[in-house]
Amino acid sequence: MAVAPPRWLQLGLIGLGIRQSPSPAMQRAALRARDLQGDYMAMDVGPAELPALLRQLREGEITGCNVTVPYKLALAAACDRLEGDAAVCQAVNTLLVEEGELIGDNTDARGFELALTYQRLRPEPGARAIVLGAGGAAAACVLALCRMEVDEVAVVARRPEQAEELCLRVSPSDARAVDWKDTQAVHAAAREADILVNASPAGVAEIPVPMELLPAGCVVADLRYRPRPVDLVAAAQGRGLRAADGTEMLLFQGMLSFQRWTGVDPPWHAARAALQEALAE
């Protein structure tokens, strides 16, 4: 039996440079659609302010939080317990307190998988993938791709040692690290790629993968959703490739977090409408 949510749900997003995030609009719309009393705020905080926020969570002043860059890995280490995909990725995007314990969860991997499926970009079993980046979001994407039974994931990162750690955590048999600066290795992976995922902040002019090297059937997913249109998505579509930005992943991971905090089924239509309106502003 689902536990009734608290009378007032104080929710929020922890990150840096997030004052223009569309997540508050999406989550507030979800609360209204389900007649839940509460609010969702963007909490743009520096590292020195994190301990105070965690105290507010533990003391019940905050019901739950999403976590975004640059804190997904750091706040995983601050949790009393990691659940589900957070335990695999060692990265969190969802925080809550249960029975006095600070719990870290991760809805990014499932959200990414649902987004690819919804957008008809889901790779077939045996596909080859490239993931750009080695942070918490990249780890979730690698986990999701491995669950979709891709044959190999090349994790391309500026810090190859971080990519190696990610591969060992998530899927040592299916994922391998590639140095961002190793042009030959990156280009070789690009020529065989069935899906390219940009889980880094880099734009099309910065990434080491030339669009012209990607096969005609390759799909491109960029987790960025601003500025619109996302340049990598536009470049891929200009080559005739199927591509999408991170809007749908933002929706799915956010609503899975909503469900975790409230025990209530997400109002997908209302949340998507609010998200699209916020991004259009």
With 0-12 CB in 10 A as exposed, 13-18 as middle and 19+ as buried, what is 183? exposed
Examine the residue annotation and report whether 181 is marked as an active-site residue of this protein: no
Contact between 212 and 220 (Cβ < 8 Å): no
From the candidates 22, 38, 72, 111, give the one annotated as an active-site residue: 72
DSSP states of 100-136 as a string?
TEEEEE--HHHHHHHHHHHTT-PPPTT-EEEEE--SH
- Give whole-number Cα distances, 188 to 128, 157, 213, 232, in Å: 12, 15, 9, 20
**What is the rounded radius of gyration, in angstroms, for the C-alpha atoms of the chain?**
18
Q: Closest Cα partner for 119 from 229, 249, 268, 218?
A: 249
Give catalytic residues, as residue numbers.
72
